[in-house]
Amino acid sequence: MNGAGRTHVLTIEVTGRPATFATAGERPWKEAIRRAIGEAKVVPTNGRFAVALEFRLGQARSANEVWDLDNLINPTLDAMEGVLGLRPWRGMPQPADDRVDEIRATKRQPMPGETAGARIEVWLIEIDTG
């Protein structure tokens, strides 16, 4: 994902159980992401972004617990206002995840010695306006 015309903005490791959209675990997952971004002391930047997400899942707690990749991506991007900034509008504050133009996402079980969580990498895509 790294390449010409891109500036690395952030790489963080988020510890915690990834959660899918609209589940009980969504709030703690978002809090873990915001905490990791805050600790990285990154400043939101105007521009377009490329994001790489590698989710390390936990063991299923029931037969009904599944992780659809698209439903893992949504709450993760929704918690990234500390990098992406906020969408300029008059409603409730929302992250400017509409500025993400490229996503690479994978999911897997943790390997021995790893914990559940995610690795998040963000690049600013520099657009040639000339």
Phi, psi of 44 (to 5 degrees): -55, 140
* Residue 128 pLDDT greater than 60, yes or no: no
How far is it, in rounded angstroms, from Cα 74 to Cα 2? Answer: 22
pLDDT average, residue stretch 101-121: 96
- Looking at residue 2, its pLDDT comes to 65
- pLDDT recorded at residue 127: 57
Running DSSP on this structure, what letter comes out for residue 21?
A: T
Mean pLDDT calculated for residue range 67-90: 92
In 3-state terms, what secondary structure has residue 28?
A: helix
Q: Which of 118, 120, 119, 115 is nearest to 59 (CA)?
A: 115
* β partners of residue 54: 106, 119
- Band of residue 129 on the pLDDT scale cut at 50, 70, 90: low
Least confident of 13-27, 34-48, 64-78, 84-98: 84-98
Please state, for a pLDDT cut of 70, what percent of the chain lies above it: 94
Read off the pLDDT of residues 41-56 as tens digits, 9 standing for 90 and up: 998 888 999 999 999 9
Measured CA to CA, the distance from residue 34 to residue 25 in angstroms comes to 15
Residue indicated by tokens 């690049």: 123
Task: Please work out, in degrees rounded to the nearest 5, the angle formed at the alpha carbon of residue 73 by the alpha carbons of 95 and 61.
Answer: 125
Quick one: pLDDT band at residue 73, thresholds 50, 70, 90? very high
* Strand (E) or helix (H) holding 103: strand 100-108
29 pLDDT above the threshold of 60: yes
- Mean pLDDT, rounded, for 29-47: 93
- Computed on alpha carbons and rounded to an integer, the radius of gyration of the chain in Å comes to 15
CATH of domain 6-117: 3.30.1330
Greater confidence (79 vs 60) lies with 79
